[in-house]
Amino acid sequence: MDVRFAPHNTHMEDPELFSRRDPHLKQLQKQLLVHRSFLLRKLPRHQPGIYTVGGGRQVGKTTLLKQWMSDLLKSGIAPESIVYITGELIDDHHSLVRLVTEILDEMPGTDLRYLLLDEITYIRHWDKGIKYLADAGILENTVMVITGSDLVIIQEARMRFPGRRGAADVVDFHLYPLSFFETVHLKKCLSPEELDRIINSRHEATEKIARKLLGEFDMYLVHGGFLTAINDMAKHKCIRPHTFSTYSDWIRGDVLKRGKNEHYLREVLDAMVKRYGSQVTWNALARDLSIDHPKTVADYAALLESMDAIVIQAAIIEDKLAAAPKKARKLMFSDPFIFHAVRAWLSPTKDPYKQQVTPVMDDPNWVSKLAEACAVAHYRRYFPTYYIKAEGEVDIAYVDQHRFWPVEIKWGTQLRPKDLKQIAKYQNSRILSKGLQYSTIGTIPVEPLPLALFRLSLSQHKEQAIGDV
């Protein structure tokens, strides 16, 4: 094996010591809270093919691969049948083809082989290399899992490798920051009895459970779903300055790597923060910035969205269940902690947690905006998600079962019927609020927002959640 990759393949020397010697798993064991993604049960084990794992940087893609390697070893897969390589050390598709060919030639020829290729987007023309390897039959009898911090990786794989992906039903995976449910599950905030009540009760949950989830949701709006920030809060009751800079440096570095202008990036992000959750057009943003052309603003926003850093929420065309291209959009960050990290970069302070995050969380207007963005980002994980712009506005319209479902987020202390004229027009509408109990306004059901988001993700992971309690 190439010596450059030896530190990541210590299982070759002694599989029993892999979890203690691997640099990522060793670092993971130092954390107070250790997360195992639900994707670990979904990644392929017995079906050859080309699989992708996309997601923003720092969400744990490398750790996911290392945990999966450990699981494969424990299941009896031969150590010599598993190899991890990182694209950070591979220049182009020619080098990739040579390296992969050599690695697979050294592996046992009869057993299923597992090749984990991390951060493939670092490799110039990586897609050409993968296509050649697949067409030449070199990947036969191989489970190849490739990851990238640009969601374009998934689009490229679908477009470039049709018919070459394998026979599995699911070949593309998206790793997000932890959802609100996953975070509560990680912290073990609920007892088995409380979780059972949430799972089996169609509507009701005790006020004690709702209050507990409300407190955890307040915390989630601080640390989001990023494990370093979550562990900072668990260990230190604050988020360290270094943690903020780690995430803001990721955004800045990846944008610069793509040949973009840092000053323009700063302007676009600053404009996002100032108009957070409001309807904006590219033309209006361009008029307020030094950027000359609206398309340039749109390009920066699209890049940030492909990095999983922001959400671009379009208005819905109700009869077509599609985005309205000419209507204004909403721009928001895909996770609350990204919002805080970006603000810390835009306006540097010695202690971002104390000087920036705490004042924001004490401001009801800002907390309301963060709660709405958090809800949008959660629904977007599972459904096409828009907002309604008509005579009035509805915060979320997600598409499921060939129809859209309107959801209004009301995080204030009082719900007034006159503010709900638009959502009252839809028979299948809901309001998610700060309250602790289910209720109605007119005929519209009102649910506690934290409980609704908890159940939203729980429905996707119910079987494992029950098994892990």
Mean pLDDT rounded to a whole number for the chain: 91
Residue that has been written with the tokens 């204004």 in this structure: 328
CATH code of the domain containing 9: 3.40.50.300
Q: Which residues pair with 117 in a beta bridge?
A: 85, 146
Name residues whose C-beta falls within 8 Å of residue 357's C-beta, 6 or more positions apart in sequence. 222, 239, 340
- Residue 462's pLDDT is what? 61
Give pLDDT tens digits for 236-281: 999 999 999 999 999 999 899 889 999 999 999 999 999 998 999 9
43-47, 181-185, 309-313, 379-383: segment of lowest average pLDDT: 43-47
The pTM for the full model equals 0.93
| Domain identity same for 218 and 363 | yes
Percent of the chain, pLDDT > 90? 76
pLDDT at 465 over 60: no
pLDDT at 428 over 50: yes
| Domain identity same for 349 and 227 | yes
| Domain identity same for 164 and 197 | no
What's the number of domains the chain is made of? 2
Across 45-57, average pLDDT? 90
- Residue 318's pLDDT is what? 95
| Domain identity same for 75 and 162 | yes
**Alpha carbons 285 and 267: distance in angstroms, whole number:** 10
| Domain identity same for 192 and 169 | no
Banded model confidence at residue 142, pLDDT cuts 50, 70, 90: very high
- Strands 172-174 and 49-54, sheet pairing: parallel
Give pLDDT tens digits for 167-188: 788 888 999 999 999 999 999 9
User: Would you state the structure tokens that stand for residue 298, as one six-digit string?
Assistant: 């749109």
The domain boundary, picked from 174, 209, 224, lies at: 174
Banded model confidence at residue 109, pLDDT cuts 50, 70, 90: confident
In contact, 3 and 13? CB cutoff 8 Å: no
Please give, one letter per residue, the 3-state secondary structure of the chain. CCHHHHHHCHHHCCHHHHHHHCHHHHHHCCCCCCCCCHHHHCCCCCCCEEEEEECCCCCCHHHHHHHHHHHHHHCCCCHHHEEEEEHHHCCEHHHHHHHHHHHHHHCCCCCCEEEEEECHHHCECHHHHHHHHHHCCCCCCEEEEEEECCCHHHHHHHHHCCCCCECCCCCEEECCCCCHHHHHHHHCCCCHHHHHHHHHCCCCCCHHHHHHHHHHHHHHHHHCCCHHHHHHHHHHCCCCHHHHHHHHHHHHHHHHHCCCCHHHHHHHHHHHHHCCCCEECHHHHHHHCCCCCHHHHHHHHHHHHHCCCEEEECEEECCCCEECCCCCEEEEECCHHHHHHHHHHHCCCCCHHHHHHHHHHCCHHHHHHHHHHHHHHHHHHHCCEEEEECCCEEEEEEEECCEEEEEEEECCCCCCHHHHCCHHHCCCCEEEECCCCCEEECCEEEEEHHHHHHHHHHHHHHHHHHHHC
| Domain identity same for 73 and 94 | yes
In contact, 296 and 286? CB cutoff 8 Å: yes
Residue that has been written with the tokens 């989001």 in this structure: 224
Q: Is the sign of the CA dihedral 429, 433, 436, 440 positive or negative?
A: negative
The domain boundary, picked from 174, 206, 221, lies at: 174
pLDDT at 203 over 70: no
Banded model confidence at residue 150, pLDDT cuts 50, 70, 90: confident
| Domain identity same for 236 and 141 | no
| Domain identity same for 252 and 396 | yes
Name residues whose C-beta falls within 8 Å of residue 10's C-beta, 6 or more positions apart in sequence. 17, 18, 21, 22
- Residue 141's pLDDT is what? 93
The range of the structural domain enclosing residue 411 comes to 180-468
Count Cα neighbours of 326 within 13 Å in the Cβ-side half-sphere. 0
- Residue 467's pLDDT is what? 47
| Domain identity same for 170 and 185 | no
In contact, 39 and 64? CB cutoff 8 Å: yes
What crossing angle do the helices spanning 180-187 and 449-468 adopt, rounded to 10°? 50
Give pLDDT tens digits for 276-312: 989 999 999 998 899 889 999 999 999 999 999 999 9
Across 392-401, average pLDDT? 95
The domain boundary, picked from 124, 142, 174, lies at: 174
| Domain identity same for 267 and 189 | yes
| Domain identity same for 260 and 165 | no
Across 21-46, average pLDDT? 92
Across 364-377, average pLDDT? 97
**Alpha carbons 466 and 469: distance in angstroms, whole number:** 6
Banded model confidence at residue 469, pLDDT cuts 50, 70, 90: very low
User: Would you state the structure tokens that stand for residue 225, as one six-digit string?
Assistant: 């779903």
| Domain identity same for 286 and 200 | yes
Across 223-241, average pLDDT? 97
Across 84-103, average pLDDT? 95
